[in-house]
Structure 1
Amino acid sequence: MRKSSFALLFSLIVFAFNLAHAQDEGVGLAQIDEMVPSQYDFGLPGWVPVPLEPEGNPTTAAKVELGRYLFFDKRLSLDGTMSCESCHSQALAFTDGRAVSRGVTGEVTPRNSMSLANVGYAPVLTWGNPLLRHLERQALVPLIGKSPVELGLADREAEVVDRLAAEPVYRQLFPAAFPEAKGKISLATIVRALAAFQRTIVSVRSPYDRYRYEGDVDAVSDAVIRGEALFFGEKLECHHCHNGLHFADTVLHERNRTGEVAYHNTGLYNIDSKGAYPANNIGIAEITGRPEDMGRFRAPSLRNVALTAPYMHDGSIATLGDVIDHYAAGGRTIKSGPNAGIGKNNPLKSSFVPGFTLTREERADLIAFLNALTDTSFLIDPRFANPWLQKEKKK
């Protein structure tokens, strides 16, 4: 099987990282593979299970705080103009509101920025790479990846270390977070802290949560309840790909430590009437090399979905209403241009996208249900906010 260029790039990144940091006792990526229930207090409601974490990177308050500072720090980019927040804004449920994201050099990524809400429960990361299963490794892609360039730090690790070492805040945070490494600032400790912070980004306090899991019958309207019935009914088939705790395909936590990850072709494209997708965005087929995987992407969580537009892996659908139209039609029809085709007739399309018909009231009810998945407290939770701005406000 031919190995794709992206898979090869990923393998080289992981190999280079492990090799370069083998001397960092206790902080190498080789120790993050075994996942165990976290002992950290995430402040979760009783009905929410604890996420898993790598045995070699236990979540601690000091590590989370360091990761939060790093997440919002523009020093972690080539020219100091971008941070992780640039593509993952708290106000937008940690997305960026763009169809596709733009890196520090102006190069655009081929895919839409996924929400980081509840990312610690995800068995795989990104839209279409089944190899990326750990936040510690995934962080390497935006930091030092070259195709596309995002934060642009490839071959500049020493420079970044110097930048961070010059900041007084980090002279306290790194030793507190990594006493076993004597507070060493390195790419290894940076990604481990970022991963620890991201695992704490949990959103489970929407009106629907209060209604369904906490018994607050007044938390949602009758329209939401009717929309819930539609969503979980066989007429629409939504729940087959968006189910469970986070309205995603599969989640891992203390009560579910294994699970197969499904990827789906929704008939978004059918360029050649044989199922082809745009060449720069073919789904997991890029990794597996299997023709039948053309156009198959991971189903994202629908929590806070009203805030994460535009939609789909390439941001090519603008509104929730348009998304419903796409699934109602059983696939998207593009009438002209290089991507023209009838998605409904895509031979590789999932059987869970047969199409359906909704009345005007049913459509309104479904949208009401999706809106009820918005966790407004999550959007302003100070635990996930920019600490640099918080410091400025205190002055």
Structure 2
Amino acid sequence: MTSHTHRWTGVLVAMAWLGSGCGDSEHEHEPVPDTYEWRLPVGFPKPRVPADNPMTEAKVELGRRLFYDNRLSLNGTQSCGSCHLQSLAFTDGLKNAEGSTGQIHRRNAQGLANVAYATSLTWANPSLTTLELQALTPLFGTEPVELGFADREEELLERLRGDAELVGRFAEAFPQKAEPVVLSSITHALASFQRALLSGNSPYDRYVYRGESNALSESAKRGMELFMSERLECNHCHSGFNFMDASASVLTDTPVQAFHNTGLYNEDGEGAYPTVDPGVIELTGKDSDMGRFRASSLRNVAVTAPYMHDGSIATLSEVIDHYAAGGRARMIQGGQLSPLQSGFVRGFTLTQEERADLLAFLEALTDTEFLSDPRFSDPFAKP
């Protein structure tokens, strides 16, 4: 696999989608009426919803079924849920994701908790800004192969149209369409289900938003102070209710897209990342974008190992080592700080007690209810 081919697969698919007139409207992020009961966690604003894809219960339920349906892979071996397991906050626990044909991907599968608030999708593609567009890449992308339907859209549609019960669900979710089983219906339903994946019932939430003074241990409370401190700088990139700087809601005036170089690699002393995956620079060509990737939300982070875009850090303790050293490249190679890495990644020291406190806080971001909520579970799973 070449990084050039991988780089353009998602972009070209998105361009073709927009060119066909099936993309989002000009005012895609304006609040729109919907009939969906959001059940927003305390302290959470309402997510933005594209004007041409308002949330409905029928659409979310259809999306849930499609998300877990192996027929969405050409060879029938995988579904979206194969790489996004609910028990792992919709990650897969692997260092690198594996597609339906067995191809090992260069990147780690990201979690989907609160993805409704993300201002960009995937690790390093500023052009994929809606879940509707992003769904096209796993369905039809070729480098890497995920679900494997490249150039075989009609085969996918005919496969789904052959299921009378499923066709009925499409008709219920998209009553305005004469032919409800079309590609835009698939992507809109999948996007709706993913927007419903809200996680905000962790011990941290109960302590901060609900005033439950005993929800956090004393160790976790001390860890929270460390996390928010200027000494560690964690909350600059993992900020707000979603612990992610690139988040937006209906209350956000100007959403930002933020990508960061954390000093994970510095192969030439000038900040170079491995050529297999150098980050946003693949799309922009700007030297300053070398090694820049999206900061993931830290919600449920204790169950989403391994970490970083390439899954190269195995544990949360090792993640702390990475940042404490001012970048893993510096820690392993004994080199200088990368000239391209974020100014917030500059290193710090922790006592053993402080390390334990920080880990306790990060573990307190786990929403166990979310990890087993039947609204988000596999409808085809055997009891």
Q: Which moved more, 1:160-169 or 1:96-105?
A: 160-169
> Which residue identity is paired with 1:233?
S
Spell out structure 1 runs of 4+ moving beyond 6 A: none
> Could you say if the C-alpha distance between residues 388 and 344 of structure 1 is closer, same or farther in structure 2, counting changes exceeding 3 Å?
farther
Counterparts of 2:51 and 2:117 in 1: how far apart (Å)?
15
Counterparts of 1:257 and 1:125 in 2: how far apart (Å)?
19
Q: 1:36 aligns to what?
A: 30
Residue-by-residue CA offset, 1:212-264 (whole Å, 9 max, x unaligned): 11000011110011000000001111011111011011311121142222211
Residue-by-residue CA offset, 1:1-48 (whole Å, 9 max, x unaligned): xx965554334212333455x4xxxxx224376112354321113421
Give runs of aligned pairs for residues 211-360 of structure 1, distance below 5 A: 211-333=207-329, 341-342=333-334, 344-360=336-352
Residue-by-residue CA offset, 1:34-74 (whole Å, 9 max, x unaligned): 11235432111342111001001111111101000000000
> Which residue identity is paired with 1:366?
L
Q: Per-residue deviation at 1:342?
A: 4.8
Counterparts of 1:18 and 1:296 in 2: how far apart (Å)?
26
Counterparts of 1:172 and 1:18 in 2: how far apart (Å)?
28
Q: 1:25 aligns to what?
A: none
Give runs of aligned pairs for residues 106-185 of structure 1, distance below 5 A: 106-185=102-181
Q: Per-residue deviation at 1:287?
A: 0.8
- 8 Å contact from structure 2 (residues 167, 180) kept in 1: no
Gaps of at least 5 residues in structure 2 are: none
Residue-by-residue CA offset, 1:115-144 (whole Å, 9 max, x unaligned): 000000001111100111000000001110
The answer to whether 1:15 aligns with 2:11 is: no
- 8 Å contact from structure 2 (residues 98, 105) kept in 1: yes
Q: Per-residue deviation at 1:388?
A: 1.7
TM-score, L = length of structure 1? 0.92
Classify the secondary structure of the residue corresponding to 2:229: coil
Q: 1:201 aligns to what?
A: 197
Residue-by-residue CA offset, 1:328-353 (whole Å, 9 max, x unaligned): 00011489xxxx84565311111101
Classify the secondary structure of the residue corresponding to 2:191: helix
Counterparts of 1:257 and 1:120 in 2: how far apart (Å)?
16
Classify the secondary structure of the residue corresponding to 2:30: strand
Classify the secondary structure of the residue corresponding to 2:199: coil
Classify the secondary structure of the residue corresponding to 2:63: helix
TM-score, L = length of structure 2? 0.95
Classify the secondary structure of the residue corresponding to 1:53: coil
How high is the sequence identity, in percent, across the aligned residues?
53
Counterparts of 1:142 and 1:32 in 2: how far apart (Å)?
25
Counterparts of 2:26 and 2:157 in 1: how far apart (Å)?
22
Q: How well do the aligned residues superpose, as a CA RMSD in angstroms?
A: 1.8
Q: Per-residue deviation at 1:186?
A: 1.5
